[in-house]
Structure 1
Amino acid sequence: MDGIRVTAEGFGLKGPRGWAFQGVGIDADPGSLLAIEGSSGSGRTSLLLALTGRMRATEGTAAVGAARLPKQSAAVRRVSAVAHVSGVTDLEPALTVGEHLRERALLQRRYGGPLRGLLRPRAERASESKTLIDTALALAGLDLEHLPKGARTAVRDLERVEALRLSVALALVGRPGLLGVDDVDLKLSEAERAEVWALLTSIAEAGTTVLAVCSRAPEGAVTVSTRTSDDPEVKADALAETGRA
């Protein structure tokens, strides 16, 4: 699926404890790398989930392709996927990489396509699943041959970046036009962060629009900040800009 344009104006979500995010404006072309930047607890994940149709905004409007938010959330969910979101897309440590991939392909075949597809010959369905998995692994840069036990490697034995790549691959099996990835730089070294940003940039360049939650956006990304004027980092940035830091 080709990438999707994402726009928003005055987009916000208010919960029982106040605003998760507010006044967000976005204009990102198809195939963009869109970085949602902010400190932990600043509403970054809520914004990611709202833009992918998985959380209902309470203020303003947004559009993902032709679908409008918050009214057409179901349509947005059909063209988007999320990865690496704690509590939403958690990997099962005891399952192997191959088991995760096969399960995701089965779910995609059963729920992500026309019902008549389930009536096709078994060999044809298996071939399609293999193509979906191989394509997703290639886009996510996860080479099963380089894992300790190949496809039989348990998730608990994966390195942090490998687990992130697997989560991204699982999301890409559905060929989304919009991919949301949470906490892309959490607990990573500088080298690992550079590796992950290179991965997400390559996915965007291949055509998929990417939303990535981070603490610091890389150069070249379309950046949306969820930090507020009360955030100490924002105050420090403002002082530095006026030469008083």
Structure 2
Amino acid sequence: MDSARGAAVAAEGFGLKGPRGWAFRSVDIDAAPGALVAIEGPSGSGRTSLLLALTGRMRPTEGRAVVAGLELPRRMAAVRRISALGPVAGVSDLDPALTVAEHLRERALLQRRFDGSLRALLRPRAERSADARERIEKALSAAGLDLAALPKRERTSVRDLERLEELRLSVALALIAEPRLLAVDDTDLKLSDADRATAWALLRSIADGGTTVLAVCSQAPGDAGVVRTTGAVRDEDEAPDAAPVADRSTTTDADAGTDAEAETATETETATEADSEENTNEEGAADALAETGRA
């Protein structure tokens, strides 16, 4: 395993609070580069919010976290640059009307536009196209997505994909950026036992290749490192050192993310990243566009 390129993830007393209370709290993580970490918990326990906070997409409220030597929340923009999101509802959704080829081509173009250096942008068109094809082929291979096996090959619409194929496509799109940290939400959602085992084998192979993987699930496999979320604290007057309580019956993961999004989703760092409070909405909008491919 080439773990040198993976991102180590460490957190202590990590928490995020929104208007309705704590999305998650008192989370501790110690994951080596190239690890497979399962974020396990019931729906509504703050799993997705934790995933987004650890990848620099949401601003934490308390505690400390370090990703690849980059401290959160001070280095959120830098963490976003080395991490990529697989499927996350409401953040990196696939467009059901687009084909697999259209998604791949769009992501490759966005990768070159938002993450490429000026020198790379000035390369001859044929060279840029060859690089994009190489990135796509490498990502498809790592995600185990065989275009020839799809009903209409690369012209297959997302709406016609099986759940496991859709997961593979989302992972492939994320891997085009060659991230050091890959985040996947709802890994085992709507999968049969056989497909669930296949999905975990896929993520395990990516981790074995050196990329650190964070995967949200309802039940973690036995060979993964596990971080458990137990729920959010709704009481605004709860003492700061109170332990997390059972998950909220009326608030889902998406709600927890919405609670904090008004304060966190569009916040980004200044060019020097020396002062995390001097964030701009413009940079956050650009990050969101690069993540989803659509405004």
In the superposition, the TM-score normalised over structure 2's length comes to 0.77
**Structure 1 residue corresponding to 2:11, chosen from 3, 8, 13:** 8
User: Counterparts of 1:213-224 in structure 2 under 5 Å?
Assistant: 213-224=216-227
- Report the counterpart of residue 231 of structure 1 in structure 2: 246
Shift of residue 230, structure 1, vs aligned partner: 4.4
- Report the counterpart of residue 160 of structure 2 in structure 1: 157
CA distance in 2, matches of 1:172, 1:115: 22
- Report the counterpart of residue 193 of structure 1 in structure 2: 196
CA distance in 1, matches of 2:245, 2:125: 58
Q: How many residue pairs were aligned? A: 232
**Structure 2 residue 27 is matched with structure 1 residue 20:** no
- Report the counterpart of residue 83 of structure 2 in structure 1: 80
- Report the counterpart of residue 277 of structure 2 in structure 1: none
Shift of residue 231, structure 1, vs aligned partner: 3.5
**Structure 2 residue 151 is matched with structure 1 residue 136:** no
More strand by share: 1
Shift of residue 66, structure 1, vs aligned partner: 1.5
Stretches of structure 2 that go unaligned for 5 or more consecutive residues are 232-243, 248-295
- Report the counterpart of residue 49 of structure 1 in structure 2: 52
- Report the counterpart of residue 214 of structure 2 in structure 1: 211
What's the secondary structure of 1:36's corresponding residue? strand
What's the secondary structure of 1:42's corresponding residue? coil
- Report the counterpart of residue 168 of structure 1 in structure 2: 171
**Structure 1 residue corresponding to 2:183, chosen from 170, 177, 180:** 180
What's the secondary structure of 2:14's corresponding residue? strand
CA distance in 2, matches of 1:157, 1:214: 24
**Structure 2 residue 30 is matched with structure 1 residue 30:** no
CA distance in 2, matches of 1:2, 1:166: 22
CA distance in 2, matches of 1:138, 1:13: 36
Shift of residue 189, structure 1, vs aligned partner: 1.0
CA distance in 1, matches of 2:6, 2:185: 18
Tell me which amino acid in the other structure corresponds to 1:67.
L
Stretches of structure 1 that go unaligned for 5 or more consecutive residues are 233-245
Shift of residue 187, structure 1, vs aligned partner: 1.3
Tell me which amino acid in the other structure corresponds to 1:213.
V
Shift of residue 112, structure 1, vs aligned partner: 1.1
Shift of residue 2, structure 1, vs aligned partner: 1.3
Shift of residue 188, structure 1, vs aligned partner: 1.1
- Report the counterpart of residue 69 of structure 2 in structure 1: 66
**Structure 1 residue corresponding to 2:148, chosen from 133, 141, 145:** 145
Is the deviation greater in 46-55 or in 110-119? 110-119
CA distance in 2, matches of 1:12, 1:193: 29
CA distance in 2, matches of 1:10, 1:231: 18
What's the secondary structure of 1:91's corresponding residue? coil
- Report the counterpart of residue 126 of structure 2 in structure 1: 123
Tell me which amino acid in the other structure corresponds to 1:155.
V
CA distance in 1, matches of 2:161, 2:110: 23
Percent of counterpart pairs with the same letter? Answer: 67
Tell me which amino acid in the other structure corresponds to 1:12.
G
Tell me which amino acid in the other structure corresponds to 1:112.
D
